[in-house]
Amino acid sequence: MSDSISQPTAQAVARCAELTKQLNYHNKQYYLLDQPEISDAEYDRLFQELKKLEDTYSSLRVSSSPTQRVGEAPLSAFESVVHEMPMLSLDNAFNEDDMVAFDKRIKDRLKSDETLEYSCEPKFDGIAVSLLYRMGTLERGATRGDGASGENITQNVRTIGSIPLQLAGEEIPAVLEVRGEIFMPKAGFEKLNKRAAEKGEKPFVNPRNAAAGSLRQLDSAITASRPLVMCAYNVGYVEGELPKTHSQILSCLKEWGFIVSEELKVVAGVEGCLDYYRQLEQRRGALAYDIDGIVFKINSIPLQQQLGFVSRAPRWAIAHKFPAQEEMTTLNGVEFQVGRTGAITPVARLQPVFVGGVTVSNATLHNRDEIERLGVCVGDTVVVRRAGDVIPQIVAVVPSKITSSLKAIEFPQHCPVCSSPVETAPGEVVARCSGGLICEAQRKEAIKHFASRQAMDVDGLGDKLVEQLVDAGLVKQIADLFTVPKDKLAALERMAEKSADNLLAALNKSKNTTLPRFLFALGIREVGQATARNLAQHFGKLDNIIHADTDALQLVDDVGPVVAHFVYEFFRQNENLQAVDDLKKAGINWEEKEPVEVAELPLVGQTWVLTGTLETMARDEAKEKLQALGAKVAGSVSAKTYCVVAGPGAGSKLAKAEKLEVNVMDEAAFVQFLGAFE
């Protein structure tokens, strides 16, 4: 191209130098110090701008450019390791056009129009590592570092349970370098940060930072205490024979003891890649770990070898990135919301920004301690994170963009809704309105919770209707729901006689419930569905729970001192007892049973999974019936699953159950099975 050999303008030279300086700085913050100051999306934009300049003016491209590097130099505290084969990065695709162009480039280079076969895998948001095995024994672990050399982290990787110390199986190459991603699952990350908060330590910003910090510990005992996982995604240097497709190589790695992504799939052509991308993007938030895109690789190893590499990336692979989950924006102000239990939550009002596939203008700041930890002020430039369907949150302030025109965030001393004093109980970090149900906000949230699907399941009583009922003075306590006159209901906005009839019918239907649902609907602090079920099973009758002391309450499975305290105190408050009595007078009833020892329940110790569409009962009803018999109902199938109930439309869970030889029941057999316990 003529453009690529033209002389760069003075403006282009200056911009290239500035971009190089910025990217080198942020590489150091990200890779060496684990203190990133900008979002991945902002980094990608800077990188792409520099790459475009270098593509336009080839004389600007030098060997020290960030575009010619994979990462930064290793930390000096660790021994340096030279990789037998460079650990390269991947080029990125940001939209479908980029993927189509990638597919075309490969076909052009191969001089073929045949449909290509691609291996598809999620792109884990973790730390890339290299594991070297000799005669099946782990000899060395190393980080990617700058691609040519990395950090020797052998002692640390040996502490990770998902990394085999000795490979098992047949036909293992004499020398095998396995490459993978070490990451921290979401559940482990939450527990780690909870422990940090309990100790007064600074929590990690996200699972990737937590994994990086854990892996770079000089004391391997600290690494051993962290919930890290490694998933193998490729091989590097090998002395021996391997299969001729990428997917078959991963199958071998799985046989030899490595975790390989269960989402691995081989598809035909770029359309197959795009379909895979769309499907996994939809399920992204439900995955147990963070991913930031999909990696597509030519499945044929001979074709990979024929296509070769450019300076920093293979020609036969690409990472199709998801919409950024982190972005930078400005904090314009903070409002304070009051929740069902009186918790005062600061909500950030942001300059709208597109992140995680949606435009975000609000984000949670959690509590007063979080504001102080972040050191955030109105006017700050902040990093906003949105993962899947999780509420957006501010995770960091951008230090380089702090200005003098900032305004401190002042936490309210009185409730912004009812003006009652705001109090913080000893040992808690959450500030709460002391107004109780005299606070309109708490009343509204309590009614919304009471009517929710997992509680009393009042069909048609949505959030906006609850707001109207309270604002109009028709509902001042929960039991008032059952006495609102039909004409008053029909007169509300967007209501009419038919809608009023439907709501009254739904309220009447909800009166016949179960003790676990009623307990959960009361909104006792820290009493979720599982705890409500355990209390109901243990005590059998509501009066037994009301009169139980904290010692008796702690005999219940999953009830500790904190939960016992909240339950005990709830039933010591006269207004709560009156509310229960009013609800019973309104007609709410349930079948009371004799107390049951959990150990006596017939399905204790069994894990069941429900999948597909159940036609004779709702999924929640089936779940409740199993739980009432002592079973645990899980969302995924494993070797420990006792039985899978598969209705019409059952898909991957049924396939996995069959593969693992787990018991499977259709709906008819399940209904008959339940009938045996009635």
Q: Which residues are catalytic?
A: 123
Question: Is the distance from CB of 127 to CB of 211 less than 8 angstroms?
Answer: yes
Beta-ladder partners of 293? 321
Single out the residue of 509, 505, 508, 534 nearest to residue 519, CA to CA: 534
HSE-CB of 575 using CA atoms within 13 angstroms: 7
C-alpha 521/C-alpha 452 separation (Å) is 8
* SS3 of 534-601: HHHHHHCCHHHHHCCCHHHHCCCCCCCHHHHHHHHHHCCCHHHHHHHHHHHHCCCEECCCCCCCHHHC
Distance, in Å, from the CA atom of 254 to the CA atom of 171, rounded to the nearest integer, reads 13
Whether 292 contacts 299, CB under 8 Å: no
* Cα distance between residue 631 and residue 668, in whole Å: 19
Place of tokens 């089936």: 622
Tell me the C-alpha distance between 170 and 252, whole Å: 9
Q: Which of 129, 151, 130 is nearest to 76 (CA)?
A: 151
d(CA 430, CA 423) in angstroms, rounded, equals 9
Which is it for strands 80-82 and 149-151: parallel, antiparallel or unpaired? antiparallel
Q: Two tokens at 201?
A: 């330590």
Distance CA(188)–CA(228), nearest Å, equals: 8
Which residues have a Cβ under 8 Å from the Cβ of 366 and sit 6 or more positions away?
345, 346, 393
Tokens of 385: 């994170």
Residue type, position 289, single letter? Y
Q: Token pair for residue 431?
A: 């500030």
Q: Do residues 84 and 133 make contact, with C-beta atoms less than 8 angstroms apart?
A: no
The token pair at 437 is: 């149900």
> Is residue 354 classed as helix, strand or coil in its secondary structure?
strand
**DSSP string of 160-220, one letter each residue:** -TTS-SB--SSS--SEEEEEEEEE--HHHHHHHHHHHHHTTPPPPSSHHHHHHHHHT-SSH
Could you tell me the CA-to-CA distances from 172 to 140, 246, 256, 297, 299 in Å, in that order? 17, 16, 8, 23, 21
Amino acid occupying residue 606: Q
Residue 52 tokens read as 């475009």
How far, in Å, CA of 614 to CA of 618, rounded?
Answer: 6
**DSSP one-letter code for 124:** E
Alpha carbon of 435 to those of 83, 447, 473, 628: distances in Å? 64, 16, 18, 36
Amino acid at 592: E
Q: Distance between CA atoms of 402 and 381, rounded to whole angstroms?
A: 7
Distance between CA atoms of 328 and 352, rounded to whole angstroms? 10
Residue type, 4: S
β-pair type (607-611, 137-143): unpaired
The CA distances from residue 253 to 241, 250, 621, in Å, are 13, 5, 42
Rounded to whole angstroms, the Cα distance separating 225 from 145 reads: 24
Sign of CA dihedral 442, 443, 444, 447: positive
